[in-house]
Amino acid sequence: MTPEDCMCSVKERQPEKEVDENGGLGPAHDGDEGDKVDGSNHLFLREAPILTEESGISKDYNCHDKKVGSREELVLRKDMCKQGTRLSRRDRVELGCRFQRAVSSCDWELAWNLLVLAKAQALNDVLCIALDSVWFLTTREELNGITGLIKKIIGDGAKDFTRAILRTSFLASCVSACQSKMMNLTDAVGVMTQRLHERLQECQGDEVLKVEASTKVQKFTEWALKCIRFHSRYQENKGEIRRRRRRNQSMIVEVQLQLSAFKTFLELAGDHLTGKDFTEAFDAACFPVALFSSSFDPGWASGSSAIAVQGLLGMLVEGGADNVNQCFLEASRFGSTELVQILLQIAQRNSLDIDVDLALVFASHYCKLRTMECLVEEGNAANLLGPLVRASERGCMQVVQWFVNRGCGDMDLCLALIAATSSSQFGISAYLLPQIPHHVLAAVSIEILKTVSERSRGSLSGVAFLLRNDFLGDPTATYAVADSIASSDDEVVPPELRAFLKEHWSEDAFAEGLSSGQDHYVNFMRILRRGGSPICLMDLPPPLATAIVYMPLYRECTEAGGKLLPQKLRGKLVEAASRLGGRQVDDDSPAKELLAILEHHLPRHFLPL
């Protein structure tokens, strides 16, 4: 179930239900059909009363101390039923509690006797209770007992199969998720609440609905964990854990028994369950695994818990669930790698079409590296370019590095470089540049500069970044490609790009820089010799006079950064270095050498540390 589904469920069903003491949602009125709810996503909107305050259940979830179901009481209740007396809500809750305890303690005789009291809606309640108990059975004797009860209940007229399959699918998933060694039942509600909160924050929608959806999911999760605790304590009381250790019974055998019982229920339900029911149950089963996956230990995916989830989901698909791809994409989006693995296997076994490439887009967008690894290695995702480009645009270094380390084609890296640079993600651009061979960059250099200019929405900072960082790895070649674009008459070249390169990066710009540097020197000498300033510049120490002339140029060059300087600025620097050095320096001299000449003649305390 997606966060959007939760919010829609809250919005659509809020007026019809009220929160009961279970933390679930009870009917707005009592009656045989009072709990019937139509529409999708009502897993989180209802649950049969299992253990409540009304029936005297203490906080440790044990029933009250009164003897359960005495013979006299049963006879009295049978007489009431014969007289057509309908059980009140309180009676139904108490009956559910007694039935739950009878099933958990494997007291099949008492459970059958209690069924005599169950009529109409109470039958639907005990059907849910019996079906929920399936996920805690451990022996074939228990299997026979529970399936016998389910057959009897359905035969007596229970018909709310939708409700039963939805809540038991959710519970079964919670049971499997909580069997992780790193999962603590006490912390489970907090973990799910936090994960759900994170997912809802990524959704667009009304904040009030988000809060209400989170609250409903939390309450239903609390119910599921309460049920798990209840059954776990009964198993401990029966010494089940000690007996299991003695006989070294495989957990796989227990899972097979549980899935067999669930299959029996599906067969008994038959056509009463629709494709929509199976689809919603599939959604409900995926939800806890997706949220709890961050707390799974490394061995969970290969253990019996994953087998149980896979078996459950597989039967739901066979029944008609058609949302495997939707759940697969959601699991990929939120990094539920274990669920992604399970759904990949289900899709393969059932020959279902799932969009692995789109799933990789979702996983990479949210930086879910483990899930990305799974989609590529096990899902055979082939389209790596799209996610790489999107990660470059967003500046997600981890994802970009992951793709590069896996091995990307040279042209794919060029496209990623364009995406990062045009989005001003210069950290990504700096990382990608060394990964691309220089001859590849040279072959498409003009197209790279043109495309970056077109995609930068009026900004030429990306073009300037590539040129300043000598993106071709050869200053002569980098300056040459800039000059060729500046002097080109090709109409496909953006006018603003041509004007920018002509002004700052062309050969003409270099000549203009030289001329400007010469004019600057002449002007200073005129001031030095003819100026009427009371400050006698001729008497200043030479380093200080040099600072007055060239310190602004020095600062402009150092602030420009990068490996290369714009041609216009470089022309000024060549002129200054030639004047200070007493000789004509080579026009192709590196900027570092030219700046070193300036630094040699400037006062030390004027230079950066």
Query: Per residue in 404-462, pLDDT tens?
Result: 999 999 999 999 999 999 999 999 999 999 999 999 999 999 999 999 999 988 889 99
Q: What is the mean pLDDT of residues 199-228?
A: 75
pLDDT range class, residue 566, cuts 50, 70, 90: very high
Residue predicted with more confidence, 118 or 141: 141
Whole-model pTM: value is 0.78
CB 346 within 8 A of CB 317: yes
From the number of C-beta atoms within 10 Å of its C-beta (0-12, 13-18, 19+), residue 453 rates as buried
Looking at 85-94, 171-180, 199-208, which range is the least confident one? Answer: 199-208
Reply yes or no on whether the pLDDT at 343 is more than 60.
Answer: yes
Which of 86-95, 115-124, 239-248, 491-500 ranks highest by mean pLDDT? 491-500
Residue predicted with more confidence, 335 or 241: 335
**Residue 135 DSSP symbol:** G
pLDDT range class, residue 318, cuts 50, 70, 90: very high
How many Cα atoms within 13 Å fall on the side-chain side of residue 247?
11
Beta bridge partners of 25: 19
What pLDDT does residue 75 have? 46
What pLDDT does residue 226 have? 86
% of the chain at pLDDT higher than 70: 77
What pLDDT does residue 458 have? 81
What pLDDT does residue 225 have? 83
Q: What is the mean pLDDT of residues 556-560?
A: 89
What pLDDT does residue 19 have? 30
Q: What is the mean pLDDT of residues 215-230?
A: 82
pLDDT digits (tens, 9 = 90+) for 567-580: 999 999 999 999 88
The structure tokens listed for 120 are 């109409």
Q: How far is the first Cα of the chain from the last one, in angstroms, to the nearest whole number?
A: 59
pLDDT digits (tens, 9 = 90+) for 512-554: 999 999 998 888 888 777 766 666 666 677 788 888 888 889 8
What pLDDT does residue 130 have? 95
Reply yes or no on whether the pLDDT at 18 is more than 60.
Answer: no
Beta bridge partners of 26: 18
- Mean pLDDT, all residues of the chain: 81
Q: Which residue has the tokens 């540390």?
A: 609
Q: Which residue has the tokens 């069997």?
A: 179
From the number of C-beta atoms within 10 Å of its C-beta (0-12, 13-18, 19+), residue 286 rates as buried
Q: What is the mean pLDDT of residues 242-251?
A: 54
pLDDT range class, residue 22, cuts 50, 70, 90: very low
What pLDDT does residue 283 have? 94
pLDDT range class, residue 312, cuts 50, 70, 90: very high
Reply yes or no on whether the pLDDT at 14 is more than 50.
Answer: no
Q: Could you give the angle at the alpha carbon of 156 between the alpha carbons of 154 and 162, nearest 5°?
A: 35
Q: What is the mean pLDDT of residues 29-53?
A: 36
% of the chain at pLDDT higher than 90: 50
Spatial separation of the C-alpha atoms in residues 89 and 31, rounded to whole Å: 8
What pLDDT does residue 548 have? 82
Residue predicted with more confidence, 307 or 49: 307
pLDDT digits (tens, 9 = 90+) for 458-514: 889 999 999 999 999 999 999 999 999 999 888 889 999 999 999 999 999 999 999
Reply yes or no on whether the pLDDT at 140 is more than 70.
Answer: yes
